Amino acid sequence: MATILIVDDSPSQIAHFSKILEKNGFEYIVAEDGASGVALAKSSKPDLILMDVVMPELNGFQATRKLTQDPETKDIPVIMVTTKDQETDRVWGQRQGAKGFMVKPVDESELLAEIKKFL
């Protein structure tokens, strides 16, 4: 089964996503900030990344840009999952290379549909 990297600095969001993924047969790994997410993506090569935007140090837009511009990680689809709900945020996320964009709180069925779209 696919491995999904959760990059989020909120313990409650990590718990929410991990519960959904586990229940639906996905393996997952966790990074609690953008810099750790980039490093973990390079070392573990997940099948997909769920990326928060608002995080300390390296935000999700910056981390996504780093991942999609790196030959080692450019083919890993990134779905941004964030509280930022403006159209400009969505467009900026796509410009950084994100394949998908979802606004928190996310519904389990919508999250699974979005994940399956890119796996």
**CATH class belonging to 3-118:** alpha beta
Query: Does residue 1 surpass a pLDDT of 90?
Result: no
Extents of the domains making up the chain: 3-118
Q: What is the pLDDT of residue 61?
A: 98
C-alpha distances out from residue 69 to 51, 56, 64, Å: 16, 21, 8
Please write the tens of the pLDDT for every residue from 29-60.
Answer: 999 999 999 999 999 999 999 999 999 889 99
Q: What is the pTM of this model?
A: 0.97
Mean pLDDT of 17-26: 97
Please write the tens of the pLDDT for every residue from 11-21.
Answer: 999 999 999 99
Query: Does residue 96 surpass a pLDDT of 90?
Result: yes
